Amino acid sequence: MFIVNGKLNVINKQKLPNDQPFIIVCTHKNWIDVVCLGIALYPLPVHFMAKKELFQTKLIKRLLENLNAFPVDRKNPGPSVLKIPIKLFRQNKVVGIFPSGTRASEEKELKNGAIHIASKANVPIIPAVYIGPSSIKDLLGRKKRTIITGDRIKVPKLHNDKEAIIKTANELISNSFKKLIQTKSNNI
């Protein structure tokens, strides 16, 4: 990607915790944002949650596993949805989640998985946005790529007021995405 498109612009990398594991949540419009997010966090390896359907082809499965991705059954999430990230956090690892749940060109309602995991594991959520090419043509056209990271979001333990906590955390993530995109727009 560097040869074809030049250097990736990473804004606010200093906001990433270097003393604890965390969840990085990012907007998701295409496969390029996944690759760019991994590059932006380097040398920290990101362990991405990916829908299990992507692991059905041997070649893609092998590629995803080499990229530290692990499968999640979105229709029937089992205990592994929590167990795998918590195990990674105990090893001081970073888990990447795309809370829109799928690639989408329009804004979608965010899924709650990152919030549940952050609450259970007591790790912060770091919002990030990808701004840049969304197709091979744009990538080959040398359009700039940018990852912007935001401030930590601390999710309290989910208890009796669970729905209110989830709603508030989702609003914080969504508003962070909007703010980060606006930050880039103001700096162009």
Phi/psi region, residue 122 (left: phi>0; alpha: psi -120 to 50; beta: rest), is left
For 38, counting Cβ atoms within 10 Å of its Cβ (0-12 exposed, 13-18 middle, 19+ buried), the class is: buried
- Residues in the chain, pLDDT under 70: 1-6, 80, 101-109, 138-142, 184-188
Q: What residues does each domain of the chain span?
A: 2-186
pLDDT of residue 14: 93
pLDDT of residue 104: 47
For the segment 115-150, what is each residue's pLDDT rounded down to a tens digit? 999 999 999 999 999 988 777 776 666 678 899 999
Place of tokens 């709650």: 112
Q: Which CATH class is domain 2-186?
A: alpha beta
pLDDT of residue 102: 53
d(CA 84, CA 106): 30
For the entire predicted model, the pTM comes to 0.86
Sheet of 94-97, strand order? 9-11, 146-149, 125-131, 22-26, 94-97, 46-51, 70-72
pLDDT of residue 118: 94
Query: Residue 32 in 3-state DSSP?
Result: helix
